[in-house]
Structure 1
Amino acid sequence: MTANQQTDSTEAVNAREIVGELVRKARKAMNIFIHYDQSQVDEVVQALAWAICKPGNAEELARVAVRDTGLGKYEDKVNKNRRKTMGTLRDLLGAKSVGVIHVDEEKGITEIAKPVGVVAAVVPSTNPAATPLNKAMMALKGRNAIIFSPSPKGATTCQLLIQYIHEELAKIGAPLDLVQSLPAPVNKELSNELIQQCDIVTVTGSANNVRAGQTSGKPNLCVSAGNVVSVVDATANLQEAAHRICLSKIYDYATSCSSDNAVVIEEAVYDEMIGALKKEGGYLCSAEEKALLEQAMWPDGKRSGKTTAKAPEVIAEAAGLQNPAAKEASFFMVEETGIGPGYPFSREKLAVVLAVYKAKDFDDALDITKRILNCQGRGHSCGLHTTDESHIERIGLEMDVCRLLINQAQCYGNGGNFNNGLNFTLSMGGGTWAGNNIGENLSYKHFINITKVSRVIPEVIPTEEDLWGSYFAKYGR
């Protein structure tokens, strides 16, 4: 055995032992938690939510996250930590997740909720506090335990979050080991071992991490990348549409997969819409500036961390944009016509950069949007700014996405908002279009198993006429 092989073998053994101890403690905690009734479980969920919303905690988590990951905006992370948590708590309180959760007397079916087990949660550096807390609330709502695998840069934030969570769990006398995290330094060996030893896997983050979860052989709730496109048709209220798109694009410096990456504008209102976006702080790059921006964002063809989820002035400096207006912009716009690997602006960027496409009409706008999503983002989300009801129906029928937002800010809306009916989450499934097992927003329902108790009901046997009447009438027997 070579020295490298011996090192690899030792690391594998160490990872197995480290993770094994975490899982053992999680199962021991679950053995206590399984006896909690619904009100006790909801109290635990409230404790988790307060761990991040308690005055000072959201702020400190945001400060550490920005400091150690270098991603996003402090003020927006504070807002995200609180808003996503409060919205999720609203969704969870009152929902049944313990014991008998539904009785259908007509069909004789009683549904009983039970835990899925120990959850392995791989969480991203983009939201190192909000995402793990969100997953923990959902997992514990189903009386499960959860173990986080944070990104290396997000590990300090995650450890601080665990500290805050344990303080609240201790306050109510709940087992602390219901929520744990891999110890630093987090590496692939530990993360992969966690996935193998837990009962179910949820991954939000890089394509490599998602692939590891999906190919682990374990039940998984992994979600893929986004590449959100918004369509602006000729009937839209342009200033309102521009404001919503701006809010979505600049929030937390576009760390979220929910942020608009492209806007497709009908030609009839194109110039006016560009003007509206400029009023919101958008800077339209010239062809030369677009080339400089592309070089700064994809040097040697690879996405650079130096311009990922950074302030617009940092991006302007990195790209060498000399126009004073560029240095004062809230976000950048680049006019694009191409779609695909050779046109990086057509893909997810995680930057305050918006690709802008001009469409001849609504038919062309739908075609462009489909092509962008087929390149990347199919299944996730798209939006439409309009006052034409027929356009809403058309795009709903034709676009292969799990979320279609009408006249809303994407980043605030597709992961749930207080003014729409989607549940709050930071993990959005894209269905089979995206190669995901789920198409919904991740929720507590994905963290419960259900036993269906079936009782005998009065027998109802259909006749041939009931089953084939319409068929026989049209085609004969």
Structure 2
Amino acid sequence: MTAAVSVPRPADAPATVEEVVRRARAAQQAFAEADQARTDEAVRTLAWSLYKPEHARELAELAVADTGLGNVPDKIVKKQRKTFGTLRDLLRAKSVGEIERDERRGLVKFAKPLGVVGAVTPSTNPGATPVNKAMMAIKGRNAIIIAPSPLGYRTTARAVDYMRAALQQVGLPQDLVQILPAPITKASTQSLMQAVDLVVVTGSQDNVRRGYSSGTPAIGVGAGNVPVIIDETADLADAARKIAASKSFDNATSCSSENSVVIVDAVYDAALAALRDAGGFLAEPSQKSQIESALWQGGKLNRDLIARDIVVLAAAFGLPQAATAKFIMVEETGVGWEHPLSGEKLSLVLTVYRASDFAAATAKARDILDYQGRGHSLGLHTKDFARAYQLAESFPVVRVLVNFAHTFGNGGGFDSGLDFTLTMGCGSWQKNSISENLNYRHFLNITHLVVPIAEDRPSEDELFGPHWQRYGR
């Protein structure tokens, strides 16, 4: 039998998953004892690597050139806004040493790193999402390895280059941030998932399921399909302006973009007029079938029309007069697979429903979410905040936004108390492990220091009394 010969890897050959993870672990161990000031310095330098105007523009242009998704001006805004907002959130939080003390319960909590994070990122945000996740991971004194969508690889690689240069500038290991070597395959991504300490997946549901089945603790997100209700008390002009701005932003690449609007009958015509004034083009009923046949092919969304400019959609739909609009509205009555317009569209198409009253509007919105998007979010334009409470109490969603441009409030905003993020959990409704916006707390291990307190033992009567009184002992 001939002995196996070990052939050394050529110096210019791409690194293996194992090598990337090994370098990440070495870098993380060197960073693990950083104090809060040093940690925040690292977070700040990562943020600046993307926020820097010339970098934000370069990466936006690269993303649109490579993926064909979205548009450059909005991607610049997204990169800078999300990065700035996330930096605000992170710099206000403690993630090193003692982070919480509860004297009454005798508890003190200490933050510790998780280790190495594997982050799967989508083609819709190949620059913003990797940096957003890296900032959160570094806040926890972790290392991170990005596994980007193949379509957005070049953009993500450039963003990672900028982050690595920024880390080097402040004297920190570059390998705290790395990218999975090309070519990205399901096998290499799966190997990464199995080798790291936490998997965070933003993108396709196939990747989310792979993350959860990897054997590594995982955080995934669900699909969006946001319905928004406009009731008879709403400020229609304000609602229309917000919906138009949100729907048209970055050509509707966001999972938080409004997909359907449900309008109560009393203000239906006036609301449609306001939406038209805000830039919406209302398709004729006879044009509905041609829109559906172009937007869906073989039962799936047409990738050539996802997140494209309005002129591209107008031509594909045979609606030349829509080319000057911001988005296209199509009236619909049904919900479900036989009515594809009731689902997520990832395009500048907004489905419009008429409801007889608020109760009917609520029922329609629930039907839409039950078909697709359950757990994600719901919007409401109203002056009756009791209705907002009603929806928040009863609806199977993580977020209910009132009088917001949904895209700008759902992932955190300067007028929204939600954490800034590009990764939104949808709870068990979509088999997600979190029911909140992804944030730095998800990148921490917590040690609990427990000291004796005065005994807190109620009597049997306090706990069992109501049961005994009603059912006996």
The alignment's TM-score, normalised by the length of structure 1, stands at 0.94
User: For residues 189 and 234 of structure 2, what CA distance do their matches in structure 1 show?
Assistant: 47
Segment of structure 1 superposing worse, 100-109 or 328-337 = 100-109
Aligned to 2:150: 152
C-alpha separation in 2, matches of 1:408 and 1:304: 29
Match of 1:404 among 397, 400, 407: 400
2:357 maps to 361
Superposed displacement of residue 188, structure 1: 1.6
For 1:287 and 1:389, locate their aligned partners in 2 and report how far apart those are by CA, in whole Å: 34
Q: CA contact under 8 A between 1:292 and 1:321: conserved in structure 2?
A: no
1:396 Cα deviation after fit: 1.4
Structure 1 residues 273 and 173, CA gap change in structure 2 (3 angstroms): same
Deviation (angstroms), 1:476: 5.1
Q: Tell me by how many angstroms 1:309 deviates.
A: 0.1
Equivalent-residue separation in structure 2 for 1:460 and 1:346 (angstroms): 53
What is the aligned-residue RMSD (CA, Å)? Answer: 1.4
Alignment match, 1:389: 385
Letter in 1 for 2:190: N
Establish whether residue 422 from structure 1 lines up as the match of residue 407 from structure 2: no
Equivalent residue, structure 1, for 2:48: 50
Secondary structure of the equivalent of 1:154?
helix
Deviations 1:99-132 (A, max 9, x none): 1111212211111111112111000000001111
Aligned residues: 461
Q: Which runs of 5+ in 1 are unaligned?
A: 1-14
SS in 2 for 1:148: strand
Residue identity in the other structure for 1:89: L
Partner SS state of residue 339, structure 1: coil
Partner of 2:198: 200
> Which amino acid is the alignment partner of residue 234 of structure 2?
A
Structure 2 unaligned residues grouped into runs of 5+:
1-12
Residue in 2 that maps onto 1:453: 449
TM-superposed CA distance for 1:94, in Å, is 2.8
Q: TM-score, normalised by structure 2?
A: 0.95
CA deviation vs aligned residue, 1:347-375 (integer Å, no higher than 9, x gap): 11100000101111111111101110011
Judge conservation of contact 2:334–2:342 (CA < 8 Å) in 1. yes
Q: In the alignment, does 2:471 pair up with 1:465?
A: no
Is 1:439 the counterpart of 2:435 in the alignment?
A: yes
Alignment match, 2:4: none
Q: Distance in 2 between matches of 1:383 and 1:85?
A: 24
Of stretches 184-193 and 312-321 in structure 1, the one that deviates more from structure 2 is 184-193
Which range moves more in the overlay, 369-378 or 93-102?
A: 93-102
| SS of aligned partner of 2:455 | coil
SS of structure 1 residue aligned to 2:390: helix
Deviation at 1:290, TM superposition (A): 1.4
1:289 aligns with 2:287: yes
* SS across alignment from 2:291: helix
Structure 1 residue 35 and structure 2 residue 60: aligned?
no
User: CA shift at 1:301, angstroms?
Assistant: 2.4
Matched with 1:77 is 75
Contact 1:16 1:193 in 2 (8 A): no
Matched, 1:300 2:298: yes
Q: Distance in 1 between matches of 2:60 and 2:412?
A: 21
- What is the correspondence of 1:279-358 to structure 2 with a 5 Å cutoff? 279-322=277-320, 324=321, 326-358=322-354
> One-letter code of the match for 1:461?
R
Specify the code of the residue in structure 2 equivalent to 1:449: N
**In the TM superposition, what is the alpha-carbon distance from 1:469 to its structure 2 partner?**
3.8
- Given residue 442 of structure 1, which amino acid in structure 2 is its aligned partner? L
Kindly state the Cα deviation for residue 302 of structure 1 after the two structures are TM-superposed.
2.2
Matching of residues 149-298 of structure 1 within 5 Å: 149-298=147-296
Q: Percent identity?
A: 51
Of residues 410-419 and 283-292 in structure 1, the stretch that sits farther from structure 2 once superposed is 283-292
Question: 1:429 & 1:315 partners in 2: Cα distance?
Answer: 30
Q: Secondary structure at the match of 1:168?
A: helix
CA distance in 2, matches of 1:272, 1:184: 53
Quick one: distance in 2 between partners of 1:461 and 1:188?
A: 53
Displacement of 1:191: 1.1
Deviation track 1:448-477 (CA, whole Å, cap 9, x = no partner) reads: 011111111121321123223444455554
Give the partner amino acid of 1:448. L
Task: Give how far 1:16 is off.
Answer: 12
Which residue does the alignment assign to 1:110?
108
1:434 & 1:233 partners in 2: Cα distance? 28
